[in-house]
Amino acid sequence: MPSRSVYDHLLAKGYKVDSDPFLKYDSLAGESDLSNLFEVLVSYKDKNGSPPVITANTIVCNPDFAAIEKSGFQEYRYEPFTETLKRYPAHAGSFELWRSGMSSGIFYPQFHGREHINVSKWMMALRSDVDMVREAFRHGMISISSESSGMKFGYMEAYDSFSVEEEMEKAGIIHDGLRIFENIFGYASRSFISCCFIWNDKIERAVNDKGVKYIQGIARQLEPFCKDGKHNFNRRFHFTGQKNGLNQLYLVRNAYFEPSLSGNPDEASYCLKRMEVAFKMKKPAIISAHRLNFIGTIDQKNRDNNLRQFNRLLKEITQRWPEVEFFTSDRLGELMMKGKEKFY
């Protein structure tokens, strides 16, 4: 959601943007969002003196809306997210804050995708002049996902595929995205999490080609397939420490700080309970937290309330488990691969 004014406009037109948490709360992270989040993170230390660190799973590009429109919606074009930030108010200095967070050891980007879009399906909808998609496009959005679009995930499922040709296209997009990631950040991503938790072994092979060794996710994977001309998903399940045929390691989220998604006014306590279970079973606590929890562009009160909960969560973690250690996802994977930590 680009701004509060766009949110109000879409709501007035009858779109149910108030019923979708991502439309209601999410926007690009501005300077104040990052500063406030980083202030909380640097307030705490683990037993080694290291601060909590966010593995910032990053989409490196966005659609170039102007170029796509100029082509008459016939050609897809993209731009690095660093260029997108320059066009948003109070965002021009955001990437410098990313760099500052990286230097401070509290913010560590890893690869999520080139763009969070199923490019072929989205472009098809634009060419077909689908009203809802064109309305979203006019505001620099890919969809209004609370509305029926013919796509369960509002065109966000970047690595869903419907044919062998599309599988090849997705592999090329991933290779391109990992190249851009390394150009932006100066290092290669060692871990990856698929958009909407949809991927198959071709995607694992594509990221493995570029050195990705750790697959982040939740316990369930949606594996796309087609049979008798119909598209569907296999449901596969994973656990932390499991390896695939390429010797890539799965890292499965088992704790959640998602107050904007759950609506839980005491999400911190829920997260602590999940962590307690993980630690009792001698497993790492891998916490899920989406960006929308920390964004104040649309609803500053929601961001501020969530930051208070997040601060309490970190305080309780460091007090309840003084021996706690904070790791990035790829560092955790590296330790497990070397056999220095046995969690399974």
Instruction: Give tens-digit pLDDT for 162-189.
Output: 777 788 899 999 999 999 999 999 999 9
What is the tens place of the pLDDT at every residue in 89-100?
899 999 999 999
Nearest to 41 by CA among 313, 299, 288: 313
Strands 220-227 and 249-252, how do they pair?
Answer: unpaired
CA dihedral 259, 260, 264, 267 (to 10 degrees): 0
Token pair for 264 = 């839980």
pLDDT at 72 over 50: yes
Nearest to 190 by CA among 337, 290, 79: 337
Q: How far from chain centre, in Å, is Cα 291?
A: 7
Region 25-53: mean pLDDT is 98
Give the pLDDT score at 154: 84
Looking at the DSSP assignment, which residues form a beta bridge with residue 250? 215
Task: Please state, as a whole number, how many other Cβ atoms lie within 10 Å of the Cβ of residue 206.
Answer: 23
Radius of gyration of the chain, Cα coordinates, nearest whole angstrom: 20
| Count of helices and strands (H, E) across the chain | 14, 11
Q: Are 210 and 183 in contact (CB under 8 A)?
A: no
Give the pLDDT score at 148: 46
Distance (Å, whole) CA 163 – CA 237 = 23
Give the pLDDT score at 152: 64
pLDDT at 344 over 60: no
**pLDDT range class, residue 232, cuts 50, 70, 90:** confident
What is the tens place of the pLDDT at every residue in 288-300?
999 999 999 999 9
pLDDT at 147 over 60: no
Distance (Å, whole) CA 292 – CA 284 = 24
Token pair for 326 = 């904070």
Q: What is the pTM of this model?
A: 0.94
Region 126-135: mean pLDDT is 93
Looking at the DSSP assignment, which residues form a beta bridge with residue 111? 58, 192
Q: How far from chain centre, in Å, is Cα 148?
A: 23
What is the tens place of the pLDDT at every residue in 251-271?
999 999 999 999 999 999 999
Q: Please, what is the average pLDDT of the chain?
A: 94
